[in-house]
Amino acid sequence: MPRLDPPLRRTHATPIYPIGAASRLCGIPIWTLRALEKNGVVRPRRSEGRHRLYSEAQLARLREARSLLERGVNIAGVREVLARRLTRA
């Protein structure tokens, strides 16, 4: 039997989680995820149907954002802190 296509490799950066799943996995309400996207904290990929899809790496970033928000940092501050962490890595 011929092999059709090689299986897709799923990496840490592969966007597979829709917004509802990302919300549950990170403990962040959907409306907050949209606000974080609007303010440039995270940029989910879009499916052909324009649905937001998040990767494991983005979920980790969202968990960090949640931690900062819980400590009283505003969204602009969260964006700055995460941007600085990204440039150091």
Please, what are the domains in the chain? 17-88 (1.10.1660.10)
- Hunting for tokens 């969202």 — which residue is that? 62
- Whole-prediction pTM: 0.85
Q: Is the pLDDT of residue 59 over 90?
A: yes
Q: What are phi and psi of 28, to 5 degrees?
A: -120, 130
pLDDT digits (tens, 9 = 90+) for 7-26: 668 889 899 999 999 999 99
Say if residue 89's pLDDT is above 80. no
Residue 63: is it exposed, middle or buried by C-beta count within 10 angstroms (0-12/13-18/19+)?
A: middle
